Each structure stands twice: as C-alpha cells, then as structure tokens.
A and B are shown apart, each in its own frame.
Chain A
C-alpha cells in the first residue's frame, strides 16, 4: 500500500467511449447468462423456424412468393414478440440494478450517469441484435434449404427493421425503468405498454376510424405514430413494395409520397428507435437519486 496525498487530480468529466464499452460488455455477458434472454432467443428462433418451415412445403411457389410468405409470417411474429422482449429487458435494466444496489455500486466508480446509461443501452441493444438476427437467420436458412431464396435483401431489411423495433421498445422500457424504483412495477408498466402498442393501438385505430370516420391521412398518421405500426408499415413496404393491404390509407400514402415512401417509413422506424431512448437518457442523467 502506498502513502496518500490530499490533492486530487482533475480528470475528464466528458463521456468516455471506452467506459461505455466496458459497461456494454458486462451487460452482454449478463444477458448471455440470463435465463430470460435465452428464453426469448429460443422462443423467437423456434417460432421463426416453425413459420419458415410451414410457409413453404406444398406451396409449389418459389422465388419472391416463397420468401415473401415467410417474411410476412415473420413480420406478424415480430410485431408481437419483439416489442415484448425489448420492453421487458429495458424495464428491468435500470430498476433492477437500482433495486439490488448494483447501480449505486457502478456509479460509485468514476463513471458518469451518461456512461452508465449508454453502456447499459448499448449492451442490451447488441444482445437484442443477437436474438433478432439469430431468429431471422434460422428462418432464412430453413427457407433457403426448402427452395426459397429470392428477394433475400427484403428479408434482411425486415430483420433490420425488427431490430430497430426491439431497440425502440428497449428505449421505452428504459424510460419506464427510470421512473420506477421497483423492477416489478417497471415490468408491469412495460407489459401494459406492450398491450397498448401491439393490440390496443391497432384495434383502437380501427374502432376510432369506423366510429368517427377519420380521414385517410389521419388513419395513416395514427399508424405512423405507433412504433409497432410504423414497423409493420415499413416491413410491408420492404417486401411487397406497396401498402395496398392498408386500403385507402395505403393508397393515400403511395400517392402522396411516391418512391420516397419506403425510405420515409424506414426513417420513421429509426426515429422511433431514437426518441424514447433520448427521453430515457435525459430522465436518467438529470433525474433524482440512485
């Protein structure tokens, strides 16, 4: 042990990427060890594999039709499961660490709140990438093995969109987590949000549209303002190139935005990936006690 000195050297107070990465790596290691993480990974990969295998046999369809059918099934799967994964992981992240004292331990080191937040977020986002791309990868391999294979670029685009949806929900989950001191309350709120995004949003839009005769642009706007619907629109656009399936609202969107529609829908998902995360970061770094 060395003798001590009363003076304290001033070091940088700015965000250090190397520290963010140290925390992210710890999160990834914890995710790999977590039974919840593997439960999601196995569930998503199994369902994806199941959908890929039942979408093709006996269909006598190859090329676009084969991959398109698998992609459509995976979009339907992703819009239910992926938000739940992201929301619950995010909701548990900060509240869980706060509950056990791990957050206090982390922040008792020369680590800023921004570094703690960004490291946690990055680690979980990478872990979610493993789950999402693992599931899509398995589905892709099965599809190719059964004779599908065309339009793989669209398939990859949907996988990326699914990950962006996961990241968006992770941000929402972390936002919830910054407001609650107990992980059980955070998880409960996250599941409530999931119901809102995945089911009530869709049904609510339909019901409201019928009851109030919402104009077509209003219907499109309400879909774009729900991140799960935004993902669905962008994915439909990615593998079919049109939004005809949405009826008048889809036609309105195609007529209004033309060739830029696909890019705009993709950007909409990107924005949804960023907005809740920035809100959660602001709340965590400027918020109260640990």
Chain B
C-alpha cells in the first residue's frame, strides 16, 4: 500500500531522516516509535508531500511526489494538535474540510455522531479540550472514508480517560481494515493498536518488530522508585540484591533497575519478603 524507499530529509546540513525504507501492506497498522527528534513526524510529512525529500514514496502504486493530490485523497491525516482555526466552530471546520474534498454535509453530520461530537458542533475550536480536539482531528481525517490514516502522536496531550477513548476509536478504525501509520513516543499506549513497531532514533530505523518484542529487542530498562515504610529500606535492598537486581538507596526509598517487562517481579519479591511498599514511580 505504501512503499518508502531510501528517503532522506535534510534541514540545512542536518539529516533528520536517513535512508529510510519501509513497506506497509494494505490493512496493516504500523507504529513509528522513538524519542522526540527521531524523525517520525518528518516521515509522515514526507508521505503527505509537505516537505521536500530525496528518495521515492509510492502510495497505492502512485508516486506521492508526482500525484500528490491523488495520494492525499486516499489519506486522512490527524495532526498532533489542532491549534489553528480557533475562531471556527467545530461544524465550520468540518464543513470546510469536507468542501476541500467535495464531500456532502450529510457526511459531516454522520461523523460528528461517530466520534461523539454532535453536542459540541457549535463550540469554537479554542473552547475544546485536548480530547475533543483529538476527536475533531479524527473526524476531519475520516471525512473521505480513507483507506489510509496517518496519525501524529494521537495520544499525546490527552488525559487517561481521553486517551482510552481515542485508542478505542482508533482500534475500531483498524478493525475496519484501514492502513494505519501512527507515530508515538509512548509505544506501550499504542502497542495493542499496531501489527509492527518501527523504532527510530536520529532519523534511522533501529529495529522493526512485533510490539510485544520491542522491549526485548531494544533492551529497554526502567528504574522503579519504591517508597517504603520507615526502616525497611535496608531489608528491601538486601532482598533485591540477592535476586540480582541492580539497586540504589535514595532519601525517600529504593531505586531498582528492571527490564521494561519485569517491573512486577521486583514488587512481588518484596511483598513475599514482607516489605510494605507505600508508593512507586517508574523512571525511564
């Protein structure tokens, strides 16, 4: 469905995407994961033709550079945040996006119902919460009922409740058989949404794998900061050290280094040893 070959993007002398190649099958959902500045958003912008690049991108067999309008007609794009057209109402923005695609107003009404925005249609965009803006972005992207959706950090800036709602909506879209490309720097949030994760760093692909294998593939580690009952830190340190966990004491408790998927093991060991954990934080 989407073929990206040897795409390189430079801003001045800095290469933000380096020789990037990826094949996305029809109906497949892909997460591009990496820290800020990894080049995920730039790849999406290359696919949309928003930036100039070296290399080739074809979508449905059409060259994205030469047939930009045709390619974009088949794609819906959800930006990271709708921070523009603030004066427009929800309905006006969707009506404008529909007019740009030659789509009827009935479709606007229908999508407002689908993404549960109907009661907000007369609100100005500036009045919407992050979650509602996200839904508005998704509604706008779904106007042409596109086979391909590009979502740029769809869960950033959302609280837990809004994030769950957005993920549920996106899961439904994936189940419809759409091709999804999602960028995120919180892969654990979108792992259940995608078939493959493309991990990126400094503009390059570091690994492509199943989402459940990502932590193992990248050797991801995390620090658990355990806040303990007074006087139990020394005992906890001993228990964890005996089990081979790298540990440190700090003023408020114990720091223990764990694999990204092994956080429960350390907690369970302490509970078995009778150490009461008052609170815990995960540091990456």
Contacts and interface: CB of A to CB of B under 8 A. Distances in A.
Interface of A: 1-13, 18-19, 22-23, 26, 30, 33, 97, 100-102, 104-112, 288-290
A15 to B, nearest CB: 10
Nearest to A102: B84
A273 B240 CA distance: 77
Nearest to A3: B177
28 contacts: A3-B177, A4-B26, A4-B176, A4-B177, A6-B1, A6-B27, A8-B60, A8-B70, A8-B74, A9-B70, A11-B70, A12-B69, A13-B68, A13-B70, A19-B100, A22-B100, A100-B83, A100-B84, A101-B81, A101-B83, A107-B49, A107-B50, A109-B101, A110-B100, A111-B69, A288-B52, A289-B45, A289-B52
A245 B215 CA distance: 82
A5 B177 CA distance: 9
Residue with the highest number of chain A CB atoms closer than 10 Å, among B72, B75, B87: B72
A11 B69 CA distance: 7
A100 B88 CA distance: 14
Given A6-B60, A6-B147, A19-B100, A108 B177 contact: no
Interface string B33-75: 0000000000001001111100000011110001111111111
The list of the 5 closest CB pairs from A to B, nearest first, reads: A8-B60, A6-B26, A102-B84, A4-B147, A100-B84
A5 B147 contact: yes
A59 to B, nearest CB: 45
Contacts of A26: 96
B74 to A, nearest CB: 4
A108 B69 contact: no
Nearest to B1: A6
Contacts of A23: 100
A26 B101 CA distance: 14
Interface in B6-50: 11, 26-27, 45, 48-50
Nearest to B147: A4
Contacts of B218: none
A5 B27 CA distance: 9
Nearest to B58: A8
B99 interface: yes
Given A110-B100, A290-B50, A7 B60 contact: yes
Of A2, A8, A97, A112, chain B has the most CB atoms within 10 Å of the CB of A8
Interface string B92-134: 0000110111100000000000100000000000000000000
A194 to B, nearest CB: 27
A95 to B, nearest CB: 13
